[in-house]
Chain A
Amino acid sequence: MWGLEHIWWVPILPLIGATINGLVGHLLSKRAVGVVAVGSTGLSFLVALAAFGNILGLAPDQRVYESVLFTWIQAGSFTAEAALQVDPLSAVFLMVVTGVGFLIHVYSVGYMGHEAGYPRYFAYLNLFMFSMLLLILGANFLLMFIGWEGVGLCSYLLIGYYYEKQSASDAGKKAFVMNRIGDFGFLLAIMWIFWTFGSIDYTTVFPVAHDKLALGGLAVTGITLLLFLGATGKSAQIPLYTWLPDAMEGPTPVSALIHAATMVTAGVYMVARCNALFNLAPMTMMIVALIGATTAIFAATMGLYQFDIKRVLAYSTVSQLGYMFLACGVGAYVAAVFHVMTHAFFKACLFLGSGSVIHGMSGEQDMRQMGGLGKKMPMTHATFLISTLAIAGIPPLAGFFSKDEILLSAFLGHTPGHLLYWVLATIAAAVTAFYMFRLYFMTFTGELRAEDHHVRDHVHESPNVMTMPLVILAGLAVVGGFLGLPMIEGGHALKNFLDPVFAQPGHAAGGHDVSVGLELLLMGVSVGMGVLGILTARYYYSVKPEAAVELLNKGGMIKSIYTLMQNKYYVDEIYDALIVKPIVAVSDKGLWRFFDVKVVDGLVNFAATFFMGLGSMFRTAHTGLTRSYAYAMVFGGVFLAGFWLFLSSGK
């Protein structure tokens, strides 16, 4: 079948692009660099599309295709093949990654047009595509891990793209190290899985998980918790989320592709991929749901009062990822994947839209300098508004369907505490609507507040190469949710497609038993929360902006909470004081300057002086002398030994 059989080309094409631009990109024209990068991603998308078509053409229970290229590692009983696997789950991610990835490559041609290091940018971006595709297509845990660390590397390189800027290189390093903390868990989980199952291949591990592992036992709970630790790093969940807001130091298309639409959803992919394991670990499921719901509300409140347009979107991403983990935690994997997809559309659109705004504002990111851009940037404005409505959960846009499914699943779930999570997530929905519309009103309505007249005069709509991707993504943010229709009857198109991946032995994969009345009621509540958030934002940031200022000027509780949220609850500062500084201090003053230099080396020097009685010679020895001593000692030793041998042999 043309498509599936060529699945290797999907990751390899961007790798070729990365290699060309990385090695000889500086010799090529900007146009050629763009053609290589966009072309390789575009071709990759076409192959992926064909493969997706192939998968759809197969019977639902036949939809797993595996392709082994070569044996990567083989030692003792351990084997890791370089093998790809396409099934409905990876197929959905495949379409999102290559599709959105392609659009963002196109957009980048315009956005990065004025940058030095253009080939370097595209080499990294293509390398990212390769890693991300390996991550979702790998047929075993170790291949997923290569992709996993590979996307981390590209994220590091791209966050630190402007490496001459201290804050950018700091942010890159922070992202890499925090991800490594997660990877520590992931690696241990792989080892545990191997010594439990004797294999790391999905097709070997998952079908027998039910028989090999006791429900709620130590092994499965340990494995899933370690895996989830990995997910919290990559997908920026509590406690490892603090790198993502800083990651906004990278170029905006990077934020859209890596830090919103694709890479950060890798954790969700991993949990969904390992659903056979997570389903056996109720305690882990509870923790996943708890962390997800808490992150959703916690990050949303941090996004409330940021002024940097990209930071608001970053916290929003952390919060939306929380929703996805909440869905996983209550066993609603389809809803999680659904939200990954719709989120990719509207969040990529929002980030690219913010990039368009920043582009038009000559690099300004502070929303206090913006305002009234709607008139000057009509395309950006329209697409941004659509996506903002989508994330606020207003029907019939994409975000409404997926978010509503998550809320419904949380409400009906069996995970302990699910009603609390539902309440948290529902409140978070209102908060989301509020801060997103605060962003919208501050940016696009009212009067332009920029003081610099160069900036003011220069405001312009972005070129077509940038607005076309916006239009397509906004279109997807409108229609993307329809895959979730009809939801009232239980089971919709996406659900039916994904069900073979998430079917549990012994359980019929089916929808919730829920009355239409209850479902409509819950739907009403979530839409109501969204509308409430929008209206509040409109009041404070459009109708009566001075009211917000007055409220803050009163001081007291409100002012304190505002300050606390604006400073992100001081979590960075707390981590720094409690973890980073003590480790550095102990290593520097304790381990190195005291223990290594004073204790160990002190003992050595003492012993050397004492035993060899050479204390005085050390100080007076000259090069030549030293050499003679050395020769004398060595040859003395060898001759003595020989002599001894000779004597003893005579016995």
Chain B
Amino acid sequence: MGSFSILTLVTFIPLGGALLILLIDKENQGLIRGLALAATIADFIISLPLYLRFANTHNMQFVEKVAWLPQFGVSYYLGVDGISMPLILLTTLTTMICVISAWTAVEKRVKEFMITLLLLETGMIGVFCALDFFLFYVFWEMMLIPMFLMIGVWGGQRRIYAALKFFIYTMAGSVLMLVAILWMYFQHKAVKGFYTMDIQAYHGLLMDPSAQLLLFLAFFVAFAIKVPMFPFHTWLPDAHVEAPTAGSVILAGILLKMGTYGFLRFSLPIFPEATLNAVDWISWLALIGIVYGALVAMVQEDVKKLVAYSSVSHLGFVVLGIFALNVEAITGGMLQMLNHGVSTGALFLAVGVLYERRHTRLISEYGGVSSKMPVFAVIFMIVTLSSIGLPGLNGFVGEFLILMGTWKFNPLYAAIATSGVIWAAVYMLWMFQRVMFGKVTNPKNEKLKDLNWREVTYFAPFIVLIFVLGVYPTPVIKKMEPTIAHLVAQVKKEKGASVAPPVSRPRVAPPAGNPHGGAHVSPRSH
């Protein structure tokens, strides 16, 4: 099989699986689960060459481009670079793990659940590899509905409230983004004389500074809600608490990265000047998120809420790194996106293990679990330490590079963010102590069973990644670095470019492979 259609395959195999499941009788749950697992495994395996055969350059790779609605400049355009490729692998891996984790946890409407999960996977992968705004937006929305359903149908007590909150928040952001996309679409026609939805065609598009600021803000809000950044975060605790385990894992592991991915894919290269003007207040929001998320996480009584707020803190680090606008910090941010997917995904799996046994998420209901579940205790401890950023495990490398790069940008920001290492230890270890240590005081915990083989299986890949990414992250960094270096150059070099008045250009398609050709490059580099 040639590589020409690999992205299409990776994107649509889950959808195919979903369609097949549609044909199966809903009573045949074994077959449904098996098919879902087969689809996700196949998808994961097929996604592996994306990493293995990825050339270490910043160019889009595995590109597929077919005209779709040529009169509107819409094409079926897929491709990956060093930013999207690792996230696609994270997605295929995480979804596979989710199917295994939901094996017994989901009892009602198994058929619908698996279809939803698979649709979600197609949506997520599509978002990461779409290089056409129209296609991107379709996938973006396609992702929203399954997640909404997952919370609303398979969620806990207050699932309706949580699902609607999630929906409204995200929808509000999406609408803003849609308006911005359309505005830019017409602006492109005005400047260059033709319509296009090609995302890269907008890199360096000359735009009026005030318009650029508005557009930047529209995208920013859409992504900030997804991240979620303070103060757009209050949907997250509710969504996590109500979502089933698999939903939480996907939500934390992948969906939150849509926001930070959006910053890297759209905000930075399309609005370099607005980005440079905005770095300070965005950094402050990120810093508030880091400290605020940690402090609020510390006092939670519900384990899932605690992990949810910890995500606000962790993602604050990622955003801080991205907007420090240097290679070290953005590399750290990218690594931290992967690391957060791994550790927080695993944390939610761990909480799911407890929930499946006791049907409560309250910390005070537990205590002394270590003595009853020693294998689980070891895994949970490793995951906790990874989340704390213990050197030698994955969390540290990303966090350190972010802080390192942030120091270069502004030492004060780095100092504030570094205090996060103290808070993380406080809230995670305190939680761990209350849940796992001590004597069993609650008789309901007396009969807790340790992990079974299936549960160990779904933790295993994450545990391996926790060690591998902590000890030898270099190969992964090498894949990402050219893209990041290119991005940083793009943002910094183009400072001042849009100050020049928009110039009408002849009606010619931009040369392929040089998406930002023709932009005025100011000699006043940063």
- Give A residues with C-beta under 8 Å from B: 70-78, 142, 145-146, 148-150, 153, 156, 160, 163-164, 166, 169-170, 173, 176-177, 180-181, 183-184, 187-188, 191-192, 194-195, 583-584, 586-588, 591-592, 596, 600-601, 604, 608, 612, 618, 621, 623, 626-627, 630-631, 633-634, 637-638, 641, 644-646, 648-649
Contacts and interface: CB of A to CB of B under 8 A. Distances in A.
A177 B152 contact: no
Contact of B408 (A187, A195, A630): A195
A630 B411 contact: no
A584 B368 CA distance: 24
Contact of B404 (A177, A191, A649): A191
Interface string B120-150: 0000000000000000011001001100110
A181 B422 CA distance: 6
Nearest to B145: A634
B418 A184 contact: yes
Contacts of B186: 648
B473 interface: yes
A163 B477 contact: no
Contacts of A150: 390-392
Q: Which 4 A-B pairs have the closest CB atoms?
A: A76-B327, A588-B299, A587-B295, A75-B331
Interface string B59-103: 000000000000110000000000000000000000000000000
B332 interface: yes
A252 B485 CA distance: 52
Nearest to A621: B160
Interface of B: 71-72, 137-138, 141, 144-145, 148-149, 152-153, 160-161, 163-165, 167-169, 171, 174-175, 178, 182, 185-186, 195, 231, 233-235, 292, 295-296, 298-300, 326-328, 331-332, 368, 370-371, 385, 390-392, 397, 400-401, 403-405, 407-408, 411, 414-415, 418-419, 421-422, 425-426, 429-430, 433, 436-439, 471-474, 477-478, 481, 485
A637 B438 contact: no
Nearest to A134: B392
Contacts of A76: 326-328, 331, 405, 481, 485
A254 B307 CA distance: 33
A176 B429 contact: yes
A604 B234 contact: yes
B144 A195 contact: no
A634 B141 contact: yes
A192 B299 CA distance: 33
B523 to A, nearest CB: 24
Q: Interface on chain B toward A: helix, strand, loop, or mixed SS?
A: helix
A316 B436 CA distance: 33
B133 to A, nearest CB: 11
Nearest to A145: B391
Nearest to B392: A146
A648 B195 CA distance: 11
B296 A596 contact: yes
A194 B404 contact: yes
A187 B164 contact: no
Contact of B433 (A77, A169, A183, A591): A169
Contact of A163 (B298, B370, B385): B370
A609 B69 CA distance: 39
Nearest to B427: A587
A562 to B, nearest CB: 34
Contact of A173 (B164, B400, B414, B429): B429
Contact of B390 (A71, A73, A149, A195): A149
A587 B291 CA distance: 10
Contact of A626 (B152, B397, B478): B152
Given A149-B391, A587-B296, A187 B474 contact: no
Contacts of A645: 72, 182, 185
Given A149-B390, A153-B390, A73 B421 contact: no
